Amino acid sequence: MTIHKFKEQSRYGDRIILGAICLAMIFLLGLGMLNVLSPNFDWRYVCVCLTVTAFLGGIFYLLNRTRMKVSINKKRIKFKVMPFHQKARRIAWDEVTDYQIVRTNQTEQWIGGNIHLPGERFISLVGRNGLSVRTKSGRQYFIGCKDVEKLENALTD
- Asked if 133 contacts 143 with a C-beta cutoff of 8 angstroms, the reply is yes
- The series of mean pLDDT values per 10 residues for the chain, 157 residues long, is 76 88 96 91 92 97 92 90 89 91 74 65 84 91 88 83
Distance between CA atoms of 79 and 99, rounded to whole angstroms?
16
What integer pLDDT is reported at residue 97 of this predicted model?
92
Question: What's at 151, amino acid-wise?
Answer: L
What integer pLDDT is reported at residue 1 of this predicted model?
43
Distance between CA atoms of 17 and 91, rounded to whole angstroms?
31
What integer pLDDT is reported at residue 74 of this predicted model?
87
Q: How many CA atoms lie within 13 A of 7 on its CB side?
A: 6
**43-65 helix and 15-37 helix, angle to the nearest 10 degrees:** 160
Longest dimension (CA), the chain: 72
Domain spans of the chain, in order of start:
74-156
What integer pLDDT is reported at residue 103 of this predicted model?
84
What integer pLDDT is reported at residue 47 of this predicted model?
94
Rg, C-alpha atoms of the chain = 21
pTM of structure = 0.77
Q: Is residue 16 within a helix (H) or strand (E), and if so which, with residue range?
A: helix 15-37
- Compute CA distances 91 → 71, 73, 87, 129, 136, whole Å: 11, 11, 13, 19, 11
